[in-house]
Structure 1
Amino acid sequence: MEVVDVTATACGVDFGTSNSTVGWQRNGRSALLQLEDNRHTLPSVIFFNAEDDAVSVGRAALAEYLAGCEGRLMRSLKSLLGTSLIDGQTEVQGRALRFRDLLTQFIGELKRRAEHAAGRPFSQAVFGRPVFFIDDNAEADRLAENTLAEIARSVGFRDIAFQYEPIAAAFDYESQITREELVLIADIGGGTSDFSLVRLSPQRAGRAERRDDILANGGIHIGGTDFDKYLSLSGIMPLLGLGSRLTNNNEVPSSHYFNLATWHTINLAYTQKAWRELQDIHRDVRERDSFARLLKLVEQRDGHWLAIKSEEAKIALSQHDALTLPLERIGQEVRLQRSGFDGAIAHLVGAVEDTVHRLLHDAGVAADAVDTVFFTGGSSGVQLLRQGIAGLLPDARRVEGDLFGSIGMGLGLDAARKFG
């Protein structure tokens, strides 16, 4: 019979921009809890179903939305932390709902599902956090962490600690190695790209204090949703009139396209003010057919559907050189090339590479001293980004972790060390 430590009340929570996981220590080993449909990941999505007056999360939320149910889809909630939007509100089914309450609702559901899967309550947790919630703003970064801690306490976590997400991934990788290594952890998530340079070994793994093993941390607020955005702007939005001309030869204003291509601003395209502006523009556009597609998309509130299609294309282009993307809701299809995707995100990849270069410089470590690059995070599969990071460390071994589970596993290990 399997023996489980029923006294354990600690877990590790990876609240991600796109997906979330919860890890815990079971029989002396870290494991991920099943959160939805026997899967360890729960998409960080909430759907308010207006037809049934009900709320769903995760894959169920996405399925209801994509099935055409009337309602409101909310995603990339983590991106609100540290911004002024966290204290704002939105309208859902005719009721004002604070963004802070949205995060509380999702994290509370994440806790409930984890406890159901584990068969016990969790009162202690180590939450993962990016190296920087907000770039170059220490005060906003502290606010983001404090807000997340307040929300965690409000849903029932009594004791809360934080760990950098790449460090958590390092702990997961360390459980798999047999000798000492100097490792660059590259965690490319939905909202941020985070890096840690860490000395790892089986002997060091047992230490309670690991500060001396961490040579440097760095990060930048660029992640998978940014890649989705620029793929959409370069490859999909031209079908809706982006880059086309008005009768006075000026370009059609781009702000509405940028709102629709950015997860946490999609709903701004649905306001009455935005609709009036689009109607005014429509009277002066030259390419009326393409702009009519934009009007149809906004009128049907299909912005999140389009963003999901862009995400699907990004994932496909991480594996293939080209694809034909069907866009049935606007009656079109588009041929997308990886080379075009690479061109659209080159400026983002360059900024990420600069972050890695600064990290090595700050640590005083030569590139050839790094033994391994450990890739994790759902967006680490983007080929241009992976090649760029690996190219900075040509002698290092490349290892791919569990793209969606390494952080949660590592946080589970850290929770057991911190809280017992």
Structure 2
Amino acid sequence: MNFKELRLNKPILRAIAEKNYDAPTPVQEMTIPLILDGKDVIASAQTGTGKTAAFALPILQLLFDRQDASKKGKKIKALIISPTRELAMQIQDNFKDYAQYTNLVSAVIYGGSAIEPQIETLKKGVDILVATPGRLLDLHKQDVINLDYIETLVLDEADLMLDMGFIDDVKKIERLCPKGKQILLFSATMPFKVVQLANSILKDAEKVAVTPTSSAAARVHQILYFTPKPKKIELCLHLLRNTIKGNILIFRRTKHGVDKLEQTLLRNNYKVDSIHGAKSQEERQEALNRFKNKETNILIATDVAARGIDIDNLDSVVNFDLPNIPETYVHRIGRTGRAGQSGTSYSFCSADEKQYVISIQKLMQKHIDVEEDHPYPLDPKAQPEVHKRKGSKHRKGRKSEGSKKKKKRWY
């Protein structure tokens, strides 16, 4: 199939051609006709499957016929809610590219930066608004944003939005929009919370599922290293010296873990940067730009910070800590081997992460190759560490002498 068959008009097709898109991806092929028919859609699609274009192109098409209002008279007709600033900015960049031969205006608003320039932009009039939930509600409260004309509401990365605690904000935004609007919900994974949200706000939704598990598994060479938890840093340094080359994205579970590994690599003279939730928007963007501009070649990140970030030509992904959700693993390794390229993923597994490997292999229906020839092997008999909480020295139900003395008698 090509894009012409998707009933898209010439200005949009011209913009697509300039982006060198040959044919629609599966999620675009399935979703675009449904959106053009005005249906509500719930789509399970991960980053890298082309989902931004899957909702951006039909939204532009639907608004195209009524685009000639003067800028001042423009009303917000499409609203895209995104959980993070990076994702919101990326979606806005895509809208700008696809709409360059139309008169449609899009804008992005997010927290963590000055509010005045965003208010100025909105006053000039926009057709499409990309926003993070907090800043949107903030500006709505100040009467800067009018949501009465919304025709299409998009909830992007819904699972991440709920993980970050935005569920009440999302429901509030949905209620502020008109009743008859079209709702499009995109999510990388479909946990119960997302399904529940979808059932409560979508009407007769069409379901689209694109599972990238097989494609990621096919393009990425996956290698597994069993190693004790305290030896992971040594193993990482060993592989960086001898095996892993090029542009590398390393995943750690916590912000503290990210910082600790970054300091170690800096001490060993590696060009390294990091992104996680505790860093400001500016710091994260600068780190990302340095990585994209090849000033650094190693980027360490948590899953939330790296979600949805487009990094081209990534040679390797290192799972320093294995994720406990198997879909997250697929999401991570899918960062490399994009757009037909090949890539390699290196995963470090300690005794307490063995169960995660079983779940990951089950999801992908593929066995991950184990590399045994390395200096820090895990003893096959090693047991997961058990962290026991220290209990009270008093027997349960026994009161201490002190509390007995303090007790007031009623007689």
Structure ranking higher in strand proportion: 1
Tell me if both proteins adopt one fold, taking TM over 0.5 as the criterion. Answer: no
**Relative contact order (alpha carbons < 8 A, sep ≥ 6): 1 or 2 greater?**
1
